Amino acid sequence: MNVIEVNKLSVQYRGVEALSRISFDVEEGDYIGIVGPNGSGKTTLIKALLGLIPYEGKILFQGKSLEQFTHSKKHIGYLPQKMSFIDEMFPAKAIEIVASGVYCCKKFPKRLTGEDYKAALKAMDILGIKNLKDRPVGKLSGGQQQRVLLSRALIHQPDVLILDEPTVALDPQARDTFYATIEELNKENKTTILFVSHDIGSAGNFVSKLLYLDRKIVFFGTLDDFCKSPQMSDYFGHDQHLICHRH
């Protein structure tokens, strides 16, 4: 079953085309790595999928238009790059950050309840960070902060999890742990993953499909097809080797 269908999607910024008529389908349980050079439209694609920017073309979630699907935001979890508001002086506790993930689906007045905090603890427990619940989030390590933010994205047990270069600020050990966590969510919980990464060398270690963007779709398909393709080898050269050498 297709969870997401993108048809002839185009986005322009001040007359400059950031994405040009791209089309692809995301099947239930896919783990898709979205890669490409700087300025290729990766983050633009994510913003379009989340309904944050105007676009031309069609985006369907579970057969519904994005506008029809807006009220069901709990079905989509989103983790951006490291959030800039978190610094050493940020006073909120980890559990408060996780629980704030329910605000998107609450009606006014938006107040957290005991059930919301129970859901937050459950999400933190899935990622093994329940013990951090009362720690000020500004005092946590980069890896711990990202797991808190991932728990926030998972509080509704979303069908689709969208991650926009979430490992940029992490050290290698924390990055490997984070990748392993996402892989487990995909395999054990059957969560559909769209993972934007600038690190094409790591993408091939985890994802099942590759979407290579350069304003248009250069390649979309399984990693096996990508790695065995002479045409892709001619086009990507060393980049293909980086993606495939440990797959």
Please report, for residues 22, 40, 221, the alpha-carbon distance to residue 182 in angstroms, rounded to integers and kept in the order given: 26, 24, 20
Nearest by Cα to 236 from 221, 214, 208, 215: 214
Q: Structural domain tally of the chain? A: 1
In a domain, 186, yes or no: no
Could you tell me the CATH number of the domain that includes residue 226?
Answer: 3.40.50.300
CB atoms within 10 A of CB 171: 12
In a domain, 122, yes or no: no
Mean pLDDT on 109-120:
82
d(CA 31, CA 180): 13
The strand pair at 160-164 and 76-79 is best described as parallel
Band the pLDDT of 106: cuts 50, 70, 90: low
d(CA 157, CA 152): 10
Residues 178-229: tens digit of each pLDDT? 888 888 889 988 899 999 987 766 667 788 899 999 999 999 998 888 888 8
- What pLDDT does 83 receive? 60
The CA-based dihedral angle spanning residues 200, 201, 202, 203, taken in that order and rounded to the nearest 10 degrees: 40
Phi, psi of 22 (to 5 degrees): -95, 145
- What pLDDT does 1 receive? 78
Q: What is the CA radius of gyration of the chain?
A: 18
Residues 19-75: tens digit of each pLDDT? 999 999 999 999 999 988 888 999 999 999 988 899 999 999 888 876 666 555 557
Lowest-confidence pick of 95-99, 165-169, 195-199: 165-169
In a domain, 103, yes or no: no
Average pLDDT, the chain: 84
pTM score: 0.84
216 touches 40 (CB < 8 A): no
Band the pLDDT of 232: cuts 50, 70, 90: confident
In a domain, 231, yes or no: yes
CB atoms within 10 A of CB 216: 14
6 touches 20 (CB < 8 A): no
- What pLDDT does 176 receive? 80
In a domain, 233, yes or no: yes
- What pLDDT does 102 receive? 79
Band the pLDDT of 246: cuts 50, 70, 90: low
d(CA 55, CA 45): 10
**Residue 210 carries which DSSP code?**
E
Band the pLDDT of 9: cuts 50, 70, 90: very high
Range of the domain at 239: 1-62+160-169+192-247
In a domain, 216, yes or no: yes
152 pLDDT higher than 70: yes
Cite the beta strand spans of 45-97 per DSSP E. 56-61, 64-65, 76-79
In a domain, 87, yes or no: no
In a domain, 68, yes or no: no
